[in-house]
């Protein structure tokens, strides 16, 4: 549901001219600053803007305005739309603003490195790029490959975390199952058991003992080298 009226300044002009609402009420409803509403009332702002009746556009009801005029602390609320327009699903690559387009190669590099299971079509949907660009970044033949650094597309604002998680989940479903004999991490019960801890402590003690023996042998060898007599040089 929308939270801001259509043409907020034109709506504010109409409310200023046709109601007894306070500047704060009009500013809250139209998402403007109270001083801006005051400037509209004084004729210093919104000059030449024709007022838009929010009752005719179905954004406010007469009862809601009357209630707000009787109670100056009441906040105006947008009326429920009579017709619900379903949101259209986006088709094709995502549109990326011009200011963000320079970040797309870095985002593609991050996706290729951290989520190699993603298909090119999924990366295209996430960051709004093209298949040749993805191929160039994969092959390190991109013209700016030397200066690229992997950056999270969510942090860059190219996609949301929910969209990224959905694409990763879709890609994970298409991965082949792991072979039965593939090595896996040990369960927590085994790695934290008393026998495992004892074995780990025994190995550490043995390594420490070997380090002490090696150090003693090195110092003994240095001492023997220092105490070794030096042969007197032959006299002429």
List pLDDT tens digits, range 128-148. Answer: 888 999 999 999 998 888 899
pLDDT in tens, 86-115: 555 555 555 555 556 688 899 999 999 999
pLDDT digits (tens, 9 = 90+) for 45-89: 877 788 889 988 888 999 999 999 999 899 998 887 665 655 555
Give me the half-sphere count of Cα atoms (radius 13 Å) on the Cβ side of residue 214.
Answer: 6
d(CA 228, CA 225): 5
Task: Give the three-class secondary structure for 132.
Answer: helix
Pick from 11, 47, 42: nearest CA to 28: 11
Q: Is this structure's pTM higher than 0.85?
A: no
C-alpha span between 141 and 162 (Å, rounded) = 31
* pLDDT tier at 236, thresholds 50, 70, 90: very low
């Amino acid at each position: 549901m929308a939270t801001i009226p259509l043409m907020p300044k034109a709506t504010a002009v109409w409310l200023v001219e046709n109601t007894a609402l306070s500047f704060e009420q009009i500013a809250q409803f139209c998402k403007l600053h109270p001083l801006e509403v005051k400037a509209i009332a004084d004729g210093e702002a919104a000059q030449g803007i024709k007022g838009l009746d929010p009752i005719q556009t179905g954004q406010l009801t007469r009862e809601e305005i009357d209630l707000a005029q009787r109670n100056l602390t009441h906040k105006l609320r947008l009326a429920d739309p009579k017709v619900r327009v379903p949101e259209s699903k986006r088709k094709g690559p995502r549109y990326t603003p011009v200011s963000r387009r320079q970040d797309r190669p870095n985002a593609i590099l991050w996706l290729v490195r951290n989520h190699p299971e993603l298909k090119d079509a999924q990366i295209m949907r996430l960051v709004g790029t093209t298949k040749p660009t993805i191929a160039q970044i994969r092959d390190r033949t991109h013209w700016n490959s030397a200066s690229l650094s992997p950056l999270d597309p969510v942090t860059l604002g190219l996609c949301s975390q929910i969209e990224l998680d959905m694409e990763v989940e879709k890609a994970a479903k298409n991965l082949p199952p792991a072979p039965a004999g593939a090595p896996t991490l040990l369960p927590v019960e085994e790695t934290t058991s008393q026998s495992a801890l004892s074995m780990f402590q025994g190995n550490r003690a043995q390594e420490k003992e070997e380090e002490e023996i090696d150090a003693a042998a090195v110092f003994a060898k240095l001492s023997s080298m220092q105490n070794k007599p030096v042969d007197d040089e032959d006299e002429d």
